[in-house]
Amino acid sequence: MLRLLVHRARAQWPLLAALLAVAMVGPTLLGACALLVTRTAEQALEAAASRAAPARVDVTAYTVTVRGPDARSVADDTRRVLTSALAPFAATTAARASSMMRSLPATRAGGDGVPAETYLSGVEDLPTRAALVTGRWPRGAAAGVHPGVPQRSDAVRPAAPLEAVVLEPTARLLGLTLGRRVHLGAELGGDPSRPVDVTVVGVVRPLPGTGWDRDPLAATGYDLAYHDGRSVRPVHAYGPFIVDLATLLAGGSTIDRLEITAHPDLSTPTRRGLDTVAEAVLSADRQLARTLGDRVRIERVASRLPSTLLSARDQQQVTAAAVLTVAVLGIVLTATALALAGRLTAGVRADETALLSALGVSRGQFAAAAVVEAGALAVLAAALAIPASSVLHAGLTHLPPLAEAGLAVHPVVTGVHVLAVAGGALALAAVLVALSVRPTPVADDRRHRRELLARSGADVLLVAFAVIGWWQLRDQPTGSGSSVDAIRMLAPALLLTAGAALALRLVVPALRGVERLARRARGLTLPLAAFEAARRPQAVAAGLLIGLACAAATFGVGFDATWQRSQHDQADLAVGTDLALTLGAPPEAGQGAAVGAATGGTVSPATDRGVAVGQWLGNAGDVPRLIAVDTTRAESLLRGRLNDGRRWTDVGAALAPPTRATGVPVPKGAVLTLTGKATGTGKATDTTPLIVTPRLLLQDATGLRIPCDGAPVRLDGKAHPLPACATVEGLRLVAVSLPFAPDLGNVGFGFSDAWAELPAGAGDSRVAVTLTVPETPAPAPVSAPAPAPESASAPASGSASVGAVPGSPWSVTSVEPAPGQLGNPAVALARTPAGVQLKMTTTVGLKGPPDAARTLVATAFPAAGPVPVAVSSRFADEVSARRGSRLNLTVGLTPVSVRVSEVLPTVPSAPGAAAILADSDALSRALVIGGNLDLPVDAWWVGDPTRADAAVRAAALRLGAVTTRASETARLTGGPLRAGLPAALRLLVPATALLLLAGVVLHVTFDLRSRALEVARLRGLGMTRREVRAVLLGQHVGVLLPLLATGAAVGALATRVVAPLLVRSDTGAAPVPVALPIWPWAAEAGLLALLLAGCTLAVTAVVVVQARRVDVAYLRVAS
């Protein structure tokens, strides 16, 4: 038998070569996919780790309250713990420390009687974190001389004071100049170290995004109402005095905060190394606690590195699952092609088989021969597919997106890869064996019926499995879950196969219809082609393969488009705008203009904060989010897919106040003054002196509102200059907050204990406060008059004097919760030679409850009703809200009433979250009316940036992290961890096309060979060669066309039904927004045209060759 096999192989080598070629495709695809999900995936993980932003991989240890003598050892030990946790990777560390507050002599603090405090700081790599304005960087103290270390005698002070630099505001407020020696008092803690002297050697300006937000005063340089935690009274805080870090740590000062950040060098990471580090970092907290013991009060290690790696693994698995889905599809297609080739081979060998059978060869011997032949084919296919897939994989990695993701590799062979290829080849060999050993079909009615039943049963089973697969796919959890899911892998292949099998059932009736039409034709060519196509069962023998291949190819293109679109949608929604600059520190006035100039786009400050909705604080770790931007420019600013054909302009228009607040222009550098007078309403002797700590709210050209805090001002009838608030051009004063308090000397600022200390006979005070704003040449006109105040709750809307000064009318109100403590509030605006004057009057009730706020707020806008908001559908579901619902939010500590005006699928930048979208102006107004002038701003949003390098320019501002839609899209579509899927889809389409062509060529070749005599007979009837070719071409193309059409229909159906379900987010959860099926008409039409052209070309070539071979002369032999 073996000899027969060898002889047959020699005789039928073209046939076996064809089988081998077909059998190679699947294992090659499988091998390439195996390399994608193993070698490339690991490389992707490493690439992702090496590209991760420092914030995502840094490990920071925080220690609180370190005794002076322990500071250095604590710092050293902390560094050691961190670097050992990051082993085997090298790590660099950077430390920042701040001492406990020390008293600052009153002479340095303005002498208003309020205690002043300051502190020392040490910052490693200070020149990279701050810019030197003047002077030089501080040097370390001389060896052996340490500030603050208790000396043998208090009378002995260090020989030389410490060198320090200060921030510009500190220098300005304390009047510090270079060379100035400052005496800092003792620490204000329980175990104070002794005073220390410093010499100012420089003035610096902090660089944004370099960790200054964690400075005790957030690098503002001062806080005139600082709470040091020792008393309810606020104090004046200045600082820091930045000294050399080593000197600080060695100096004996108690370190209030010590922060050491270790940055691992992940430039050449390994998977094992990353695993080790992730585990070590997770246990670093305990390790640090054990190491530091009671030398510190609190210690903590924080890092996003483990979660970064975990999330990278999730992404890796999500991609692997999708790639394996493609591989399964490829294998199913190859099996189908091989089944066709096997059937055709069996047909060719039918006579031989019959003869051997007649000679007494048993089925067992046939089976053994089939196993040997298929096994040899499998071995050969695997041997060829291993290097082929390796080269294919390498080639693929040199193309985008893998090449762009830095994943290009040379051809490699791995164990898993070899196993996958061998497994695939063996599975396909099994298909060949199964086909070879099945009994030869006998033309018998009963048999025919049985086969028909079996085929119908198989179809029904296939459809049932497909429906179950789709059902499972549809019902997969929406939450994260990235594990490779068998259902997800098999469902598309099942659906496509079932669809192609069912569609095939429709093709034959369709061909019969064509045949009926063709009968009417007069000639022979067309009817004969139609008859052949419709009546010969073998005509559609390759039907399943053609239909399935076409369905798979079109599905591949559709899935790719759906996936790409979904990634774009996800990116749009995740960023929420075109460019988001997330701030590392609170913004400053005029910053928006710089952002606008850098990007050339529409700029708006954006707020992204957690809020409480009534009593609801959200689910665990998932608080409701409030997003506030300038919605009057929603179309430019907001991104993300809306449903029902709505546009962001419409949504934004419903949220924004009808008019903008124009306020009072404040020229740059203008010195505002405040004059106030408090008069007792009863006898003159009852007059209680009052002070006010004014807060001004200034708005810049981009709509950013920044409060400017003034120092407490006595209402003594004198003009008091306010701090320099007008730092940039284009500012407008839009609100003033005046919290009144009794002036009882050096006591509180609007706090209950001040009211508690009031004399028993204290009565009400009539207060008149005038804020003078030096006038600009001409205040800007107002586009439209503001409507009358909506809020009737304001005790007395201001009687605004708008006749003298153009601009929006001013309103005045008294802040909750006890507005009744201020009577008859009023505001008037007038132009005087000194400038525009805002005159506010009210009666302050001194007898009311001491905890009641007595704060007058004057605003350049009316007190509006509930803030209109748009909420995400998830938010609406969670709180059972719908359009028109009224809700109470707590923003910070301020309650804000809102009204739901829109329910959106999701809110920009908060995909899938329970989120609220509001207009920042409307929200700010509500907060201001509630007495809160601080609308936190977390980012700058830029819409429609015109500069190509907007992101680079924005990053160069060093204000914070820059994210763009484009970069997020690129990350999602072409990032190392995501690029595997488009690459695999890129493999699928040509592989299916190749199999389709191979199947068509094989089928047509075998078909024409088996019909050689029939073709000769047609020539014998007098048909010319051309006519015969036309018949054959017409027949095959006539079959191809409906098969391709139904295949495309199945592909389209699968794209619509399955593709969106296969798209998952980074974490393996359902994407937000929901993926929409995309059927790229142009690409699909192009693909179909290519497939049709390719098939037609292949058929034509085969027909021409075969028709030439099988001439009429064939009759003389065959007949």
User: Using omega within 30 degrees of 0 as the cis cutoff, is the peptide bond preceding 240 cis?
Assistant: yes
Q: How far is the CB of 392 from another protein (least distance, A)?
A: 42
Query: Among residues 56, 536, 714, 899, which is the contact residue for another protein, using CB under 8 A?
Result: 536
Binding another protein (rule: CB under 8 A), the pick from 1014, 1085, 1086, 1090 is 1014
Q: By CB under 8 A, is residue 448 in contact with another protein? A: no
Residue type present at position 886: R
CA–CA distance, 372 with 378 (Å, rounded to integer): 10
CB 1043 to another protein: min, Å? 19
d(CA 431, CA 860): 81
Judged by CB under 8 A, the residue of 281, 309, 327, 528 near another protein is: 528
Nearer to another protein, 290 or 522 (CB): 522
Contact segment (CB under 8 A) with another protein among 35-43, 416-424, 769-777, 1023-1031 equals 1023-1031
Establish if 1022 lies at the interface with another protein (CB under 8 A): yes
Candidates 175, 523, 610, 759: give the one binding another protein (CB under 8 A).
523
SS3 814: strand
- The site map against another protein for 968-1007 (x = CB under 8 A) is ----------------------------------------
Nearest CB to another protein, comparing residues 189 and 1020: 1020
998-1018 burial, b at 16+ Cβ within 10 Å, e below that, comes to bbbbbbbbbbbbebbeebbbb
Computed over its alpha carbons, how large is the radius of gyration of the chain? Answer: 40
Q: Which two tokens stand for residue 933?
A: 């002038």
1023 near another protein, rule: CB under 8 A: yes
Residue of the chain from 780, 1021, 1085, 1101 that contacts another protein (CB under 8 A)? 1021
Least separation, in Å, of the C-beta of 505 and another protein? 20
The beta-strand segments (E) located in 141-221 are: 162-167, 181-184, 196-206
**1009: contact with another protein by CB under 8 A:** no
Q: Are 1088 and 554 in contact (CB under 8 A)?
A: yes
Burial-class residue 28 by CB neighbours within 10 Å (0-12, 13-18, 19+): buried
In the numeric block, which tokens belong to residue 60? 């920071």
Minimal distance, residue 1108 CB to another protein, in Å: 11
The one-letter amino acid at 498? A
Does residue 1115 bind another protein (CB under 8 A)?
A: yes
Ramachandran category for residue 378: left, alpha or beta (phi over 0 → left; psi -120 to 50 → alpha)? alpha
- The smaller minimum CB distance to another protein, of residues 792 and 1117, is found at 1117
Give me the least distance between CB of 1105 and another protein, in Å please. Answer: 17
For another protein, which residue of 136, 227, 505, 535 counts as binding (CB under 8 A)? 535
Q: Which is nearer to another protein, 222 or 531 (CB)?
A: 531
CB 856, CB 825: distance < 8 Å = yes
227 closest CA partner among 106, 108, 101? 101
**Is 56:278 a contact under the CB 8 Å cutoff?**
no
Under the binding rule (CB under 8 A), the answer on residue 347 touching another protein is no
* Of the residues 524, 593, 961, 1012, which one makes contact with another protein according to CB under 8 A: 524
Residue with the two structure tokens 């104090």: 235
CB distance 798 to 828 below 8 Å: yes
HSE-CB at 691 with a 13 A cutoff on CA atoms is: 20
Smaller CB distance to another protein: residue 851 or 1014? 1014
Q: Which of residues 1-40 bind another protein (CB under 8 A)?
A: none
User: Using CB under 8 A, which of 225, 346, 961, 1112 touches another protein?
Assistant: 1112
DSSP 191: S
Closest CA to 142 of 244, 275, 67: 244
> Would you list the DSSP string of 601-654?
SEEEEEEEEE-EETTB--BTTB--EEEEE-GGGHHHH--S--STT--HHHHHHH
Contact 259, 214 (CB under 8 A): yes
Stretch that binds another protein, among 13-21, 188-196, 355-363, 532-540 (CB under 8 A): 532-540
Is 441 among the residues that bind another protein (CB under 8 A)?
no
Size of the site for another protein (CB under 8 A): 27
Q: In angstroms, give the least distance from the CB of 478 to another protein.
A: 55
Q: Is 1019 in the site for another protein (CB under 8 A)?
A: yes
Closest C-alpha among 53, 295, 104 to residue 217: 104
Q: What one-character-per-residue DSSP string does 492-557 give? A: HHHHHHHHHHHHHHHHHHHHHHHHHHHTT-SSSHHHHHHHHHHH-GGGGTTHHHHHHHHHHHHHHH
Binding mask 378-417 for another protein (x = CB under 8 A): ----------------------------------------
Pick from 109, 339, 1018, 1098 the residue near another protein by CB under 8 A. 1018
State which of residues 163, 223, 485, 532 lies at the interface with another protein (CB under 8 A).
Answer: 532
H helix or E strand, kind and range, residue 303: strand 296-303
Closest CB to another protein among residues 455, 519: 519
Terminal-residue alpha carbon distance, the chain: 33
Contact 329, 988 (CB under 8 A): yes
For another protein, the closer of residues 1017 and 1056 by Cβ is 1017
CB of 1110 to another protein, least distance (A): 13
Q: Is 445 in the site for another protein (CB under 8 A)?
A: no
Tell me whether residue 710 or residue 1042 sits nearer to another protein (CB atom).
1042
Q: Which residue matches tokens 């296919």?
A: 381
By CB under 8 A, name the one of 290, 522, 615, 760 that touches another protein. Answer: 522
How near is the Cβ of 519 to another protein at its closest, in Å? 9
Q: Which is nearer to another protein, 674 or 1004 (CB)?
A: 1004
Three-state SS annotation for 110-138: CCCCCCEEECEEEECCHHHHEEEEEECCC
Q: How far is the CB of 1010 from another protein (least distance, A)?
A: 11
Options 235-243, 472-480, 592-600, 1110-1118: segment touching another protein (CB under 8 A): 1110-1118
- Tell me which of 512, 641, 1025, 1056 binds another protein, using CB under 8 A: 1025
Give whichever of 709 and 1027 is closer to another protein, judged by the CB atom. 1027
Scanning the structure block, which residue is given the tokens 């040997």? 372
Question: Among residues 573 and 1107, whose Cβ is nearest to another protein?
Answer: 1107
In the bound state with another protein, the residue whose beta carbon lies nearer, of 16 and 1037, is: 1037
Q: Could you tell me the smallest distance in angstroms from the CB atom of residue 1042 to another protein?
A: 18
Cα–Cα distance measured from residue 641 to residue 12, given in angstroms and rounded to the nearest whole number: 59
Q: Which is nearer to another protein, 525 or 591 (CB)?
A: 525
Helix (H, G, I), strand (E, B) or coil at 486: helix
Of 395, 1024, 1093, 1101, the one binding another protein (CB under 8 A) is: 1024
Residues in a beta bridge with 690: 742
Cβ-contact 867, 896 below 8 angstroms:
yes
Q: Which of 119, 531, 740, 1006 binds another protein (CB under 8 A)?
A: 531
Phi, then psi, of 791 in degrees rounded to 5: -75, 120
Applying CB under 8 A, among 131, 597, 1097, 1113 the residue interacting with another protein is 1113
Q: How far is CA 230 from CA 188, 192, 1025, in A?
A: 9, 14, 106
Of residues 478-497, those binding another protein (CB under 8 A)? none
690 is written with which tokens? 């009052």
Interface ranges with another protein (CB under 8 A): 520, 522-524, 527-528, 531-532, 535-536, 1014, 1017-1025, 1027, 1112-1113, 1115-1116, 1118-1119
